């Protein structure tokens, strides 16, 4: 289903529009006011749904259509060819397209949509085997976070029996792919490499990762085609509710407050429609603020909106299981994770260069970037895709409108976060030194190494 609020209908009912509170924002002199945005049916598309439902787009003089897309490739292609003006995207998509991995196109992002929000789920049968290698706490429940070293004996057993251990992720340049690989490698499991000649990502792999669309993850797991997967919500909690699988770890536990989706537009769109890009970013920032304000007080309403068929279309109970600050692992094992979904806290919406560089390091680590790159290349690429200049213009405008305060935004940053060490393996990430970061991993390409045939050389 497509959602649309047409200009004619809206203008005819202008007197009925809600105020932007506490001040009424003046419309930007936008170059294009009728826009179509795409999304995938995941809870982290929420800023788009809320900006639409709460009239934040309208407050900026924008008349927006929201349209669900079949998969991430279709979504990206439709942004590139102009059928969509912008979209909810995997953070790796604008970067990969800009460097020419897969599709070649200059895509940018002025807005990071959220932090965290993903999980890794395994089948009941695999979980039963994993539990033999997981200590329990005083309450009798498994001690978290659960490392992939608990999965390694299960994979080794499957290999010894001649059975490939198949796992699903949503797209080759998705956060889910890199998080699943990160978790596996941290536990001593090789997730496989890419090369220019072999883009399966399964070269020298212990676990074989392949693409499965998010809504199909639970059914594919139940059918036995895959034994586990990494996906966003509500598709981990759906496995729990169906009784077919167990989420073993969230991405919050793999990398605390990791960046997840972004809002992507073409560089050409931003250049041709600069005021429109700012206006869209303003509306999305307001939506993110609404989602997190007053300690997530609006999340119950957000869950109801997202459960509608035109958005995520999953049961409200399933969406609420993670969206309201809890997460259920093994059935009945509900734990508090207040930051499982973050939309504005911790400067979640700021498009940090260091976030972009992390994705590029993972592309290099697993061979999607086949050749070594200098640190300066990572910096230049990040700055060509992530656009805090647009974001900060939108932030300043919101402050001028009386809708936000200066303290809400990270005006002091140079775009790089301080080194981060809250990863499951304890390795410290400094976005200013990507090659030194890669050198720390026992599994993964580093230095001048490259994949040649089925071997790592160099």
Give residue 11's pLDDT: 38
pLDDT means per 10 residues in the chain (458 residues)? 47 37 59 97 96 98 97 96 98 98 96 97 98 96 97 97 97 97 98 97 98 92 98 94 97 97 98 98 98 96 97 93 92 93 97 98 98 98 98 98 98 98 98 98 98 94
In this prediction the pTM is 0.93
User: What top-level class would CATH report for the domain 118-257?
Assistant: alpha beta
Closest CA to 366 of 118, 200, 188: 200
Give residue 27's pLDDT: 61
Give residue 215's pLDDT: 86
- For residue 26, give Cα distances in angstroms to 20, 54, 60, 115, 392: 10, 17, 7, 30, 18
Closest CA to 178 of 359, 348, 47: 359
User: What top-level class would CATH report for the domain 3-116+260-327+340-351+387-408?
Assistant: alpha beta
User: Integer distance in angstroms from the first to the last C-alpha of the chain?
Assistant: 51
Whether 3-116+260-327+340-351+387-408 and 118-257 share one fold: the answer is yes
**Can you say whether residue 104 is alpha, beta or left, with left for phi > 0 and alpha for psi between -120 and 50 degrees?**
beta
Give the tokens for residue 18: 């809600």
Give residue 5's pLDDT: 53
Give residue 2's pLDDT: 57
Domain ranges of the chain: 3-116+260-327+340-351+387-408, 118-257
Give residue 9's pLDDT: 38
């Amino acid at each position: 289903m497509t959602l649309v609020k047409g200009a004619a209908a809206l203008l005819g009912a202008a007197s009925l529009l809600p105020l932007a509170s506490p001040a009424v924002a003046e419309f930007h002199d936008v170059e294009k006011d009728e826009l179509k945005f795409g999304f995938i049916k995941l809870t982290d598309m929420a800023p788009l749904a809320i900006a639409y439902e709460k009239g934040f787009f309208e407050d900026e003089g924008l008349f927006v259509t929201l349209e669900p897309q079949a998969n991430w490739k279709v979504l990206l292609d439709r942004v590139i060819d102009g059928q969509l003006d912008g979209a909810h995207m995997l953070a790796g998509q604008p970067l990969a397209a800009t460097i020419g991995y897969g599709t070649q196109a200059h895509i940018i992002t002025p807005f990071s949509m959220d932090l965290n929000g993903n999980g890794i789920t395994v089948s009941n049968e695999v979980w039963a085997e994993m539990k033999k290698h997981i200590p329990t706490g005083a309450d009798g429940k498994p001690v978290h976070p659960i490392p992939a070293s608990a999965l390694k004996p299960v994979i080794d057993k499957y290999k010894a029996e001649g059975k490939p251990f198949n796992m699903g992720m949503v797209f080759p340049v998705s956060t889910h792919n890199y998080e699943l690989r990160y978790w596996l490698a941290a536990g001593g499991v090789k997730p496989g490499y890419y090369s220019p000649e072999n883009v399966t990502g399964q070269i020298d792999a212990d676990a074989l990762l392949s693409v499965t669309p998010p809504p199909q993850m639970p059914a594919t797991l139940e059918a036995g085609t895959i034994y586990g997967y990494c996906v966003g919500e509500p598709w981990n909690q759906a496995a729990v509710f169906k009784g077919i699988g167990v989420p073993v770890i969230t991405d919050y536990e793999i990398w605390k407050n990791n960046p997840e989706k972004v809002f992507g537009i073409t560089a050409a769109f931003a250049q041709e429609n600069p005021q429109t890009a700012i206006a869209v970013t303003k509306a999305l920032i307001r939506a993110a603020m609404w989602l997190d304000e007053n300690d997530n007080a609006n999340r119950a309403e957000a869950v109801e909106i997202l459960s509608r068929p035109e958005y995520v279309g999953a049961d409200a109970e399933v969406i609420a299981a993670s969206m309201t600050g809890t997460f259920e692992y093994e059935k009945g094992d509900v734990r508090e994770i207040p930051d499982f979904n973050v939309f504005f806290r911790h400067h979640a919406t700021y498009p940090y260069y260091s976030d972009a560089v992390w994705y590029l390091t993972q592309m290099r680590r697993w061979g999607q970037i086949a050749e070594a790159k200098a640190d300066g290349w990572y910096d230049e690429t990040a700055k060509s895709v992530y656009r805090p200049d647009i974001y900060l213009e939108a932030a300043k405008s919101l402050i001028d409108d009386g809708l936000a305060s200066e303290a809400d935004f990270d005006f002091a940053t140079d775009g790089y976060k301080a080194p981060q060490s809250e990863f499951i393996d304890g390795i410290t990430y400094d976005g200013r030194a990507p090659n030194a970061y890669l050198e720390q991993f026992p599994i993964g390409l580093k230095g001048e190494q490259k994949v040649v045939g089925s071997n790592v050389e160099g």
